[in-house]
């Protein structure tokens, strides 16, 4: 199951204790060469409670267990 599906189905808001969320993803370039070439290696998920709108930010590289070598493969093969 993808990280996005897990959040949408199992997220419990720490503020209002409601269950359910909307997930938006954002990718950003870093510094140096990735910034110059507009390569977006930094990926985040913004998880918002469907009840109160409280939002938490999660690093997708950490949650998905991705490494820098995975990013290199994505760049080389346009993944």
What is the rounded distance in angstroms from the CA atom of residue 9 to the CA atom of residue 33?
38
Phi (first) and psi of residue 66, to 5 degrees: -80, 145
Q: What is the pLDDT of residues 21-49, one digit of tens each?
A: 999 988 776 555 544 455 556 788 899 99
The pTM of this model reads 0.66
Residue indicated by tokens 């209002």: 16
Structure tokens at 75: 């760049």
| Separation in Å, CA 27 to CA 14, 46, 50, 58 | 25, 11, 23, 12
Average pLDDT, the chain: 74
Rounded Cα distance between 25 and 60, Å, is: 9
């Amino acid at each position: 199951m993808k990280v996005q599906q897990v959040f949408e189905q199992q997220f419990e808001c720490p503020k209002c204790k409601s269950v359910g969320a909307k997930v938006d993803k954002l990718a950003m370039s870093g510094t140096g060469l990735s910034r110059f070439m507009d390569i977006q290696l930094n990926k985040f998920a913004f998880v918002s409670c469907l009840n109160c709108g409280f939002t938490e930010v999660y690093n997708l590289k950490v949650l998905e267990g991705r490494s820098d070598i995975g990013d290199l493969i994505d760049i080389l093969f346009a993944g």
